[in-house]
A and B are shown apart, each in its own frame.
Chain A
Amino acid sequence: MTHLSSETFGQNARDALRDPILHGALRSLADNFVERRRAAVSSVDDWEGLREKARAIKDETLLHLDKYLLRFVENAERGGVVVHWARDGHEACGIVLDLVNGAEAKMVVKSKSMATEEIHLNEALESAGIEPIETDLGEWIIQLAGETPSHIVVPAIHKTKSQIADLFVEKVGIDKTGDVDVLTGTARRILRRKFAEAKVGISGVNFGVAETGTILILENEGNIRMTTGLPKTHIAVMGIEKIIPKFADLDVFLKLLPRSGTGQRLTAYQSLITGIKRNTDDEGPDEIHIVLLDNGRSRMLAHPVTRQSLACIRCGACLNACPVYQQVGGHAYGSVYPGPIGAVITPQLIGISKAKQLPYASSLCGACREVCPVKIDIPELLLHLRAEIADGSRANPGRKKQFGEMVAFRLYGAMWSNARLYNFGTKASRLMQRLIVRDGKIGKAGRFISKVIPPLGAWTAWRDAPAVAPRTFREQWRGKLESNDGN
């Protein structure tokens, strides 16, 4: 399949809306995950307090990120881990490639990592003649299919069991089956051999603890334990924002992340890795490398609104809750990170001019903000980015100001900030709207509006605009007061 672009979100979304298979999958995602999350959240005494605490920890870290990052590196290195710094994806891929070549590996096993998706590590490895094998079941499926993940937590959510069975018939030569256990068993059988053979395992990181140099990785399948435990070399790719200050802070995040992501109290496995093994005979890799990735993250620190983006712990709850994501799925965003969080971090990572449509891929309903375990105000971020698109910035000149639009908004502003003009405007609109109102709404029936004032037509092309009520609230209020006085 061809990969979609963020620049064509509108068209991607319209195509996705016509895909019944995708809709079935997304409906089950909403039914399952939203409900499971709700149940898991209620098993915590003070969920709100926990969110506040998590956000406070993240804010403190981000405000002193240089200090905590250096502390993390110092402690990780003390434990024998080799730390590498990568300014961008290209540099990160180069570092990983050198390490893989150094280990004389022709094949590497990989566990699910959004950071490695972000830097397109698989393509870089492949073009250097190294075979990367995704080992998370969902990631393996989409790798076989030559696709990209459509969800942060369940990457193959857009595919049905039957499509996956067909894929396995074609790519790994099994008989067609409708049994999920057989499909899962096939992945187990094939990937076990890879785990046993691989010289290098590549993973992501969920949290890096500054105080101890520990990296923590969560999972359910066991492929991360295999990836980090069996090969002689373990390479972990980690965004610089994954740092938390203290080991005890893990308590807060381990309560929030699984509940928000999959509705579990705890995922099946957590691996806490603090340095390399102390005796050569012990289990585990001989070498551990951590590749610290900036790739546009440090820039996000420059404004308190954009800085919030770095608090994200990649749980995926905002995707599941989002009415837009629920309708169009992940691929329509055309970016590595989909959904509400993708709509805010993608323009910041790849440049706003390449993802101008994404900040508009939201109705600003605020469902994402409600479920976010670290209280990121995603609607605020979307508006901030929209303002940047409209007004322009140094990085992005923005679009040319239209004279007519400027005058219209000046008039609008003047009207709404003066009580008399406002009252007059309400009355005038009530008279004028008679021409275009049908059933109390200004909608498609009122096509007329687009003929009179063309730009306004766009407002009602996809939705109805409410008409001015026969009696405004102020008029009703005044009437009520008068009748009360009469009593």
Chain B
Amino acid sequence: METRGTNINENARATILASIRQSLAASERLDRVRSEHHHASENRSSVGEQIRPAISQDALIENFRINLESVGGRCVIAKHENEASDYLRGLISRRQMKLVATSDSNLVKRIVESITDIEFIQNASTDVLFECDLGVTGAQSAIAETGTLVLESEAESHRLTSLVPPVHLCILDAGKIRQTLGEILESVGAELSPTITFITGASRTSDIELTLAIGVHGPAELHVIVIAD
């Protein structure tokens, strides 16, 4: 069985590669003729390569906040980790949340430490996660120009905690915000985690009559606390 499968695969691989090479060889002559007629667009302006002026951290935070809010996310700027704890405590009691899942981030651990009136479940099993009212995670970086959170799986166990509960609260160190997607791709690309997730706002769909509905499979609410101390 195993050998048969491998054989088929070897054949398919060889056939597909041969077909690609054969087709490319066939088009070579036509490509030469075309390139004489069409002058391929050379010297086009380069995209995203212009040197950008350095942006202050305050401006980055502000850009991030504006763009996150423009896609329906909530953004709170906290001067200290205590303020983040206060916001989280308020959210939990206001909504009468019972079960709260957390990732294994040290920042998250410090934030939830002072909240004693509820138990936090770190690295909850899938079954428990589906019962949780809130998921609290950190993020490894963020993109200001789009209001996007960047989650790297090697740094933190936040893949499901940020996805399954109906509300996701993310705690972000202001120093991790970059202005552009390009900058972020460069930094995460240097040491790729097995899974990187970009999150821009809450889960959404327009599949029924193009009417926007929030919270279809992922969280219906996204709260971000930016810690700027």
Q: Please judge, given known A-B contacts A66-B21, A268-B199, whether A52 and B44 are in contact too, CB under 8 Å.
A: yes
Report the minimum CB–CB distance from B166 to chain A (whole Å).
9
List chain B residues, Cβ under 8 A from A65: 20, 24
The answer to whether B87 has its CB under 8 Å from any CB of chain A is: no
Which of A176-184, A327-335, A397-405, A413-421 lies on the face that meets chain B? Answer: A176-184
Q: Please judge, given known A-B contacts A46-B47, A91-B8, whether A164 and B208 are in contact too, CB under 8 Å.
A: yes
Closest Cβ neighbor of B203 among chain A residues: A222
The reply to whether B23 and A298 contact each other, CB–CB distance below 8 Å, is yes
Residue among A222, A255, A298 facing the most chain B CB atoms (10 A cut-off): A222
Chain B 77-88 per-residue mask, 1 if CB under 8 angstroms from chain A, else 0 = 000000000000
List chain B residues, Cβ under 8 A from A272: 188, 192, 195-198
Contact of A273 among B163, B195, B206 (CB under 8 A): B195
The reply to whether A282 and B157 contact each other, CB–CB distance below 8 Å, is yes
Contact of A156 among B13, B157, B164, B207 (CB under 8 A): B207
Contact of A284 among B5, B195, B218 (CB under 8 A): B195
Chain A 241-260 per-residue mask, 1 if CB under 8 angstroms from chain B, else 0 = 00000011011101100000
Closest Cβ neighbor of A302 among chain B residues: B23
Report the minimum CB–CB distance from B137 to chain A (whole Å).
12
The answer to whether A478 has its CB under 8 Å from any CB of chain B is: no
List chain B residues, Cβ under 8 A from A302: 22-24, 26-27
Residue among A50, A187, A282, A298 facing the most chain B CB atoms (10 A cut-off): A298
The answer to whether A270 has its CB under 8 Å from any CB of chain B is: yes
Chain A positions 195-226 with a Cβ under 8 Å from a chain B Cβ: 195-196, 212, 214, 220-223, 225-226
CA of A279 to CA of B145 in the docked complex: distance in angstroms? 34
Q: Please judge, given known A-B contacts A188-B217, A271-B195, whether A155 and B207 are in contact too, CB under 8 Å.
A: yes
The reply to whether A301 and B218 contact each other, CB–CB distance below 8 Å, is no
The reply to whether A304 and B30 contact each other, CB–CB distance below 8 Å, is yes
The reply to whether B44 and A154 contact each other, CB–CB distance below 8 Å, is no
Contact of B208 among A49, A53, A161 (CB under 8 A): A161
CA of A214 to CA of B188 in the docked complex: distance in angstroms? 12
The reply to whether B198 and A266 contact each other, CB–CB distance below 8 Å, is yes
Closest Cβ neighbor of A136 among chain B residues: B207
The answer to whether A437 has its CB under 8 Å from any CB of chain B is: no
Band of interface residues on B? 35 or more
Residue among B5, B126, B209 facing the most chain A CB atoms (10 A cut-off): B209
Closest Cβ neighbor of A294 among chain B residues: B16
The answer to whether A86 has its CB under 8 Å from any CB of chain B is: yes
Contact of B159 among A66, A278, A283, A299 (CB under 8 A): A283
List chain A residues, Cβ under 8 A from B210: 28-29, 32-33, 154, 157
List chain A residues, Cβ under 8 A from B206: 154, 220, 262
The answer to whether B186 has its CB under 8 Å from any CB of chain A is: yes
Band of interface residues on A? 35 or more
Closest Cβ neighbor of B145 among chain A residues: A265
Report the minimum CB–CB distance from B17 to chain A (whole Å).
5
Closest Cβ neighbor of A25 among chain B residues: B209
- In the complex, number of A-B residue pairs with CB atoms less than 8 Å apart: 234
The reply to whether A301 and B159 contact each other, CB–CB distance below 8 Å, is no
Q: Please judge, given known A-B contacts A29-B210, A272-B196, whether A221 and B153 are in contact too, CB under 8 Å.
A: no
The answer to whether A392 has its CB under 8 Å from any CB of chain B is: no
The reply to whether B209 and A28 contact each other, CB–CB distance below 8 Å, is yes
Contact of A50 among B13, B47, B159, B198 (CB under 8 A): B47
CA of A229 to CA of B206 in the docked complex: distance in angstroms? 23
List chain B residues, Cβ under 8 A from A160: 209
Q: Please judge, given known A-B contacts A266-B148, A268-B199, A274-B192, whether A220 and B205 are in contact too, CB under 8 Å.
A: yes
The answer to whether A84 has its CB under 8 Å from any CB of chain B is: yes
Report the minimum CB–CB distance from B143 to chain A (whole Å).
8
The answer to whether A267 has its CB under 8 Å from any CB of chain B is: yes
The answer to whether A355 has its CB under 8 Å from any CB of chain B is: no
CA of A290 to CA of B185 in the docked complex: distance in angstroms? 23
CA of A236 to CA of B94 in the docked complex: distance in angstroms? 41
Contact of A137 among B12, B153, B216 (CB under 8 A): B216
- 3 A-B pairs with least C-beta separation: A222-B218, A138-B207, A301-B23
Q: Give B contacts to A, CB under 8 Å.
A: 5, 8-9, 12-13, 15-17, 19-24, 26-27, 30-31, 34, 41, 44-48, 67, 71, 126-127, 130, 145-146, 148, 153-154, 157, 159-160, 163-164, 181-182, 185-186, 188-189, 192-211, 213, 215-219
Pick 30 A–B contacts, CB within 8 A, sort by A: A56-B41, A63-B31, A154-B206, A180-B208, A181-B213, A184-B216, A221-B203, A221-B218, A229-B160, A247-B189, A247-B192, A251-B181, A262-B206, A265-B67, A265-B146, A266-B181, A266-B198, A267-B200, A268-B71, A268-B218, A269-B197, A269-B203, A271-B197, A277-B195, A283-B157, A298-B23, A302-B23, A303-B26, A303-B27, A303-B30
